[in-house]
Amino acid sequence: MKCPKLRLPFLRTARAVLLSTLAALALNGCTESPATPVDDEALRAGRDAASFVHADEDYFHDMDGGIALTREEIVGRNMWNVWSG
C-alpha cells in the first residue's frame, strides 16, 4: 500500500527533523567537559567517608515481619531503604 500524496511531505519533514535532532544530540554528547573535583559540604568540613558511621539501629524491624537479623543485615537493610526510598 502506498502512502497518499498528502502524507509524503509530512513523512519527509518528520524524518528530516528526527535525523537532525539525533545528529545534534550525538554531536553535543561528544564534547568533553572539564573534569573538576566535587567540592561538597563534607570535603569543606574536612570529613572523609570513614567518618560517617552507618546506623545499626533496627529502624525497620516490623517491615520484615520481625525476623532476627545480624548487625550487617540491619545496616544493609537501612542503607537499602535510604538509597531506594
Convert the pLDDT of each residue in 3-37 to its tens digit.
556 677 788 889 999 999 999 888 887 777 777 87
Local structure of residue 31 (DSSP, 8 states): S
Nearest to 54 by CA among 17, 80, 19: 80
- Grid look-up 573534569 returns 35
CA 77 to chain centre: 20
Give dist(CA 27, CA 25) in Å, integer: 6
Q: Structural domain boundaries of the chain?
A: 49-85
pLDDT confidence of residue 6: 61
In sign, the C-alpha dihedral spanning 37, 41, 47, 49 is negative
